[in-house]
């Protein structure tokens, strides 16, 4: 149970990104916000546990490029151009994108039950979407592309032998921040000073959304598997909508509340299915 609870903190924290941008970071460049999110978090983890990278440098660079260097700017472009409910909804396509990626790359056809639960949850996040929202096509494309990058990187992380998740997170965030800095300088010019008004947002997205959440995300992929982690990611739009209501002043109608219920129902059924399969596997192992 503790593994699933820890995994659930990840999309909840990531869902808070949109509120953090609206409240604290709306005047900053998305590219420099990506740098300030990655680099301080990586350096903090490096100080806590220094050491060599747990992957060959080529694999580490590839994983970092997908998970940090490309993902962070796309995520913040979506956060700056879309309402949180829209961006969170598009991010909740991760289970479907992951199933498609596994089919395309590994030849693994999706299980009908898991596909059905993913579609149930996706129908919920569609209802969560504010019907009056004006969807920006660039922001929507950025959100979908960012989700696809996470899906591909998740399969690499599942298959590559990594024993030290903490150190892997530290190296990804540090290397990603260093790689992002010259890109941000070329795209946006020199960074503006971080104001006191923006500082709480930077601390939130760096320490909690990156240092802690990326460690918990990588750990969860190893402990509960990518399919279960992808399903749990549907809590992202629930968190985005809830924080939008409480902190940003967004409002929800009956359809949105039904959508939240469908997302939670899909997660509950997924968890029951996983526990039942694990129990059957344990019984077979004891008999064998």
CA-nearest of 153, 143, 11, 135 to 74 is 143
Given a cut of 80, whether residue 54 has pLDDT beyond it is yes
Given a cut of 70, whether residue 131 has pLDDT beyond it is no
- Please, which pLDDT band fits residue 170 given cuts at 50, 70 and 90? very high
Given a cut of 60, whether residue 128 has pLDDT beyond it is yes
Distance CA 192, CA 189 (A): 9
For 69, the token pair is 């260097």
Beta strands in 102-229 (DSSP E): none
The separation between CA 60 and the C-alpha centre of its own chain, rounded to angstroms, equals 19
The separation between CA 152 and the C-alpha centre of its own chain, rounded to angstroms, equals 13
Number of domains observed in the structure of the chain: 1
Half-sphere exposure of 56 (CA within 13 A, CB side): 4
Given a cut of 60, whether residue 184 has pLDDT beyond it is yes
Give the total residue count for the chain: 288
Given a cut of 70, whether residue 115 has pLDDT beyond it is yes
Residue whose structure tokens are 């999309």: 11
Positive or negative CA dihedral for 119, 125, 127, 129? negative
Phi-psi region of 206 (alpha: psi -120 to 50; beta: other; left: phi over 0): alpha
pLDDT digit string, tens, across residues 229-272: 877 887 888 888 888 888 887 777 788 788 878 887 887 787 77
CA-nearest of 76, 82, 80 to 32 is 76
- Could you give phi then psi for residue 50, rounded to 5 degrees? -70, 160
**What pLDDT is recorded for position 282?**
59
- Please, which pLDDT band fits residue 280 given cuts at 50, 70 and 90? low
Distance CA 11, CA 150 (A): 13
3-state secondary structure of 46: helix
Domain that holds residue 32: 2-287
Which pTM was predicted? 0.84
DSSP 196-265: TTTHHHHHIIIIIIIIIHHHHHHHHHHHH-HHHHHHHTTHHHHHHHHHIIIII-----HHHHHHHHHHHH
**What pLDDT is recorded for position 229?**
84
Mean pLDDT of 178-202: 94
Distance CA 221, CA 225 (A): 5
For 277, the token pair is 């399969």
Distance CA 141, CA 132 (A): 19
Given a cut of 70, whether residue 278 has pLDDT beyond it is no
Residue whose structure tokens are 């941000």: 184
* Summary mean pLDDT of the chain: 86
- Please, which pLDDT band fits residue 42 given cuts at 50, 70 and 90? very high
């Amino acid at each position: 149970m503790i593994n699933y609870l820890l995994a659930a903190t990840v999309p909840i924290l990531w869902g808070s990104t949109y509120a953090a941008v609206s409240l604290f970071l709306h005047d900053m460049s998305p590219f420099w916000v990506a740098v300030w999110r990655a680099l301080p978090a990586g350096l903090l983890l490096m100080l806590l546990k220094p050491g060599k990278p747990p992957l060959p440098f080529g694999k580490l660079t590839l994983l970092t490029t997908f998970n940090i260097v490309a993902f962070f700017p796309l995520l913040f472009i979506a956060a700056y151009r879309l309402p949180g409910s829209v961006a969170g909804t598009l991010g909740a396509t991760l289970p479907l994108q992951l199933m498609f990626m596994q089919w395309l790359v590994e030849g693994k056809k999706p299980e009908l039950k898991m596909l059905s639960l993913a579609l149930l949850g996706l129908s919920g996040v569609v209802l969560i979407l504010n019907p009056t929202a004006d969807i920006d096509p660039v922001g929507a494309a950025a959100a979908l592309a960012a989700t696809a990058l996470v899906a591909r990187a998740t399969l690499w992380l599942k298959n590559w032998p990594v024993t030290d998740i903490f150190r892997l997170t530290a190296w990804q965030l540090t290397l990603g921040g260093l790689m992002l800095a010259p890109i941000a300088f070329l795209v946006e010019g020199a960074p503006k000073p971080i104001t006191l008004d923006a500082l709480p947002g930077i601390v939130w997205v760096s320490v909690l959304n990156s240092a802690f959440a990326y460690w918990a995300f990588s750990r969860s992929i190893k402990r509960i598997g990518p399919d279960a982690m992808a399903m749990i990611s549907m809590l992202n739009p629930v968190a985005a909508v809830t924080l939008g209501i409480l902190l940003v002043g967004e409002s929800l109608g009956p359809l949105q509340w039904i959508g939240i219920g469908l997302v939670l129902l899909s997660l509950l059924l997924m968890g029951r299915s996983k526990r039942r399969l694990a129990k059957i596997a344990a019984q077979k192992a004891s008999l064998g």
